Structures are given as C-alpha cells and as structure tokens.
C-alpha cells in the first residue's frame, strides 16, 4: 500500500483502548485502519504488562503452593524444582496466543493494521486528517505512506516513569518490562514503589526465591486504596517475607559489574543496601510526545490530553482515550472509552461510568475495590454505614485454606445505596464484578442481601457483608 489511502477512522495504537475501538468501529460499519509501532497488537497491557505479569503470578503461585501448602492437604512430594526458562516460555506463549487472537479479530472485521510510527500532519485539501506512517524497524514500509480520514483516535498509552537522576539501563535499574523477563532469579530485588505493579512483580520473585525489599516514599502502600484493605495486604505481604521501608526516598543507585547499591533516606540520613536488581515502579506517564500534538494545537492539561464528553480533543476530529486522558490508567478503562468514543461518533449516547470502574491488585491475597473508600466518604462528610465479613468465617475459604482477608461494604446511611466495596482475599478480582454490577444499577445492600448465593462459595462473603451493614449477618 503506497501513496494516500482514505479510511473512515484511523486509530493510533493497538493497545486495549485502540484495538477494542477498532473492532467496535468495524462492527458499526466503519472502514478502519490501526497504526501500531510494535510488531504485535495488544499494547503494553498484553505484551509487557497485564497479561505476562498475571501469567507469572499464576505460575509462581502454583510453585509456592507446591512448596509450602501441598503437605497441608496430605499431598507429599519432593521439593519442587524451578525451571525458570520453561516458566518464561509459557508466559510468552500465553502472550502470543492472545496477540494472534487480536490479529484474527482484525482480519475477521476487515481492519487494516500498519506496523509503523504515526505522525499527525494536519488536514488535506478535502478537510480530512492526514496521518503519516513512518517505517518501523520490525517491518519495512514504502518510503511514504499517508493515511487520511475524517476522524482519528489516538490511543498511544503510557510509559514507565523513572526516578529523578536514576535512568533505566535495562540491566540493574529496570522497569516492569525487564522484570517480566529475568533469565535468572535475583538474589535480592529492590522495588521502588509500593503500588500495584511493584507489589505484583515483587510477589512473583519472592515466591521464586528472591529476597524482596519495597521502598516507598509515602508512609503506606497502595495510597489510593481503602486504608483497611491496603493495611491488610501490607500485613499479609510482610508475613510472606517482603520487607518494607516506608516513608523512605531513594536518593541514588551505584552500579558495578555484578550488582547495585541503593542509597536511601528514611529521615535519619543516607543509608545503603546492596541488591542485584532495582525495579522502578513509581508510576507511568502518558505518551504524548512525537505524534504532532503541539504542531496541531492539541491541548494538554497536566500532562494528559484534554478531551470533551465525546473524547474529542481541542482539534475537531481528533480523539484521545485510555492512559492519555484523565482517569485511572487501567486497561479495562481504556477499552470502555474506546467503545464509548466510537459509539458517540455514530450518534449513540454511550457513557463510561467512571465511578464503577473496579481496580485490582493481583497480590495474594488479592485486593479489589469499586466505588469510594471510607476515607473519601469521611472527607466529603457523607453519612454511611459499614458492613464487613471475614473469609475466615466462610466454609469455602476454609476448604481452600485461603482464609485471609474480608469483604467490606460501605452504604449510604439514608438511602442504603452501595457507595463502595473493598475486598481482600481469594479471587477478589472475580468477586468484585458482583459489586460493580449492583452499583451500576444503583443497587442497595438490601438488593445483595435478598439475592440467593450458592453454598459453599466465596461470593457468600459479599452477601454476609451486605447483611452486616444492618447487623443481620448470619455467620458473624
């Protein structure tokens, strides 16, 4: 394909926002092209984030279960031996099957995909947006490819943020990308940042035999989570063996041929700690540079792209979704925005209910939440009631030998409407869907309490917590 080709919609980025938007647009009858710099679709989430990390979390959890818990179930085996290369190949195979699946969906829906770098070039004489595709290193393209369309969605995602003065080197100071592909188990891993990414990857390597130390500048981990839930995860991870240095700032990293020395300050002066690897997981920033935003006049607000209710930027016909725009940097949020953006282009009145987007940290026990935290309700002066049920009192959790954690429900004191649900425990990531569903229909704790939950299941904990809001729980 060379010269200029016209489409109904150009999408820049094939991550969970871009590829989902492309499929929905094609379903609605649009002629769609997607430009992706990677050789494979799926973005950070599928290639070096959500999916490979969960593959390793599951593999490492099975390894830890075989090592530490099988004997409790009367299963006696020799000590398991780790074959890290096999574990990594399995992870890569999971990723490949899913990226191949997206390619299949593109072909099924008639979506064209270019492997290259996109640059917005303004409008042509017909008023269409022009996007130039530059050659990618993975797959050569004709010298000049220009695509045109009346509408462009930019879904370029985000990148890892480094520590000031401590650049990533891919060897000693690494991002999640490298931490998902270590070829040997580190002896000591320092994790900079006590958020979702750092705790998940720290958990992987802890289970596989690494000493893990988390250094967090704030006085607590998971700062945006309900405090009771975050504190429960903190206590559990400490019991598992992760060491924490909270309220501590990393001031430097000295590297040599074999390892690294991390300099940190917890308020009493500079101290040192030696390690093999430093995983920097202090946050992510939107990828807004290099696409022609400034030249076209696309407005940014605090580093993110400013958009209206239709996800349209300050330049008519150019839209942005996902990590580029305000809101949590979550794959499922980007996908929801991709669908809503395309449907609104077609005249539908689709909306993303941001207050009901669940968040999950895939440690073990898992942590999941939707809605407001108790701290937010107190700060806003909202009158509320609390219900709580511990997994230790649940038959299914006892059978699984997974009794850590609880379900906590926050409800409006006057209307009984559910304002927030916070779960720490086994399969919290799956259980939170019930809470999000009921909340999206403006449900109350009575609605959950009146639903019959199968016995014995983990979901019974949600019903008991709902009953506990009015002190009617049966098994408390």
CATH number for 384: 3.30.390.30
Is 443 in the same domain as 368? yes
The predicted pLDDT at position 294 comes to 92
Please give the model's pTM, rounded to 2 decimal places: 0.94
Q: Which residues of the chain have pLDDT under 50?
A: 1
Is residue 246 assigned to a domain? yes
Is residue 183 assigned to a domain? yes
The predicted pLDDT at position 1 comes to 46
CB neighbour list of residue 408: distance below 8 Å, 6 or more residues apart: 226, 228, 229, 374, 386, 387, 388, 421, 422, 423, 465
User: Taking CA 324 as the corner, what is the angle to CA 318 and CA 329, rounded to the nearest 5 degrees?
Assistant: 145
Is 117 in the same domain as 198? no
Show which of 336, 352, 368 is a domain's final residue.
Answer: 352
Is 248 in the same domain as 379? no
Is residue 167 assigned to a domain? no
The domain in which residue 325 lies consists of 3-48+90-159+285-352
- CATH number of the domain enclosing 212: 3.50.50.60
**Residue ranges of E strands in 98-210:** 112-123, 129-135, 145-149, 151-154, 158-160, 173-174, 188-192
Is 250 in the same domain as 290? no
The predicted pLDDT at position 137 comes to 57
Is 294 in the same domain as 408? no
Report helix angle 84-108 to 18-27, nearest 10.
Answer: 30
Is 244 in the same domain as 302? no
Is 340 in the same domain as 361? no
Is 340 in the same domain as 370? no
Structure tokens at 353: 């209910």
CB neighbour list of residue 393: distance below 8 Å, 6 or more residues apart: 464, 475, 476
Rg of the chain over all Cα atoms, to the nearest angstrom: 24
The DSSP 8-state label assigned to residue 435 in this structure reads H
Is residue 72 assigned to a domain? no
Q: What residues form DSSP beta bridges with 260?
A: 255, 275
Is 220 in the same domain as 312? no
Q: How many domains does the chain have?
A: 3
Residue positions annotated with a catalytic role: 455
**437 contacts 394 by C-beta, under 8 angstroms:** no
Is 275 in the same domain as 289? no
84 φ/ψ sector (left φ>0, alpha ψ -120 to 50, else beta): alpha
Is 383 in the same domain as 434? yes
Is residue 433 assigned to a domain? yes
Show which of 226, 252, 282 is a domain's final residue.
Answer: 282
Is 378 in the same domain as 462? yes
Give residue 37's Cα distance to chain centre. Answer: 21
Show which of 282, 316, 335 is a domain's final residue.
Answer: 282
Q: 3-class DSSP state for residue 373?
A: coil
The predicted pLDDT at position 237 comes to 98
């Amino acid at each position: 394909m060379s010269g200029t080709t016209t489409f109904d919609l150009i999408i820049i980025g094939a991550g969970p926002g871009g590829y989902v938007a492309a499929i929905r647009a094609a379903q609605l009858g649009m002629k769609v092209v997607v430009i992706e710099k990677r050789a494979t679709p799926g973005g950070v989430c599928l290639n070096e984030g959500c999916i490979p990390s969960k593959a390793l979390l599951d593999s490492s959890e099975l390894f830890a279960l075989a090592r530490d818990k099988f004997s409790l179930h009367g299963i006696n085996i020799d000590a398991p031996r780790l074959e890290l290369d096999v574990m990594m190949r399995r992870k890569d195979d999971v990723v490949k099957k899913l990226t191949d699946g997206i390619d299949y969906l593109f072909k099924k829906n008639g979506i064209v995909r270019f492997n290259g770098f996109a640059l917005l070039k303004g409008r042509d004489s017909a008023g269409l947006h022009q996007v130039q595709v530059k050659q990618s290193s993975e797959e050569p393209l004709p010298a000049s490819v220009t695509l045109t369309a009346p509408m462009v969605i930019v879904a370029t995602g985000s990148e890892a943020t480094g520590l000031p003065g401590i650049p990533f080197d891919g060897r000693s100071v690494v991002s999640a990308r490298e931490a998902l592909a270590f070829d040997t188990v580190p002896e000591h891993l320092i994790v900079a940042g006590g958020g979702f990414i750092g705790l998940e990857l720290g958990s992987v390597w802890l289970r596989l035999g690494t000493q893990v130390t988390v250094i967090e500048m704030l006085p607590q981990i998971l700062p945006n989570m309900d405090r009771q839930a975050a504190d429960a995860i903190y206590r559990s991870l400490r019991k598992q063996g992760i060491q924490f240095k909270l309220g501590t700032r990393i001031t430097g990293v000295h590297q040599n041929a074999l390892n690294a020395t991390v300099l940190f300050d917890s308020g009493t002066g500079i101290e040192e700690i030696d390690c093999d690897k430093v995983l920097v997981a202090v946050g992510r920033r939107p990828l807004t540079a290099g696409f022609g935003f400034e030249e076209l006049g696309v407005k940014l607000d605090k580093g993110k792209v400013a958009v209206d209710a239709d996800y349209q930027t300050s330049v008519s016909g150019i839209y942005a979704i996902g990590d580029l725009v305000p809101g949590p940097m979550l794959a499922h949020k980007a996908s929801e925005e991709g669908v809503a953006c395309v449907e609104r282009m077609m005249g539908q009145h689709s909306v993303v209910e941001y207050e009901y987007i669940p968040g999950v940290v895939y440690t073990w026990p898992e942590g999941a939440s939707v809605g407001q935290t108790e701290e937010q309700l107190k700060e806003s002066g909202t009158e509320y009631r609390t219900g709580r049920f511990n997994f230790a009192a649940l038959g299914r959790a006892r059978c699984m030998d997974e009794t850590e954690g609880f379900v906590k429900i926050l409800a409006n004191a006057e209307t009984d409407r559910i304002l927030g649900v916070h779960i720490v425990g086994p399969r919290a990531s799956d259980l939170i869907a019930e809470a999000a569903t009921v909340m999206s229909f403006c449900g109350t704790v009575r609605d959950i309490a009146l639903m019959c939950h199968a016995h014995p299941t983990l979901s019974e904990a949600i019903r008991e917590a709902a009953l506990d809001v009015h002190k009617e729980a049966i098994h408390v």
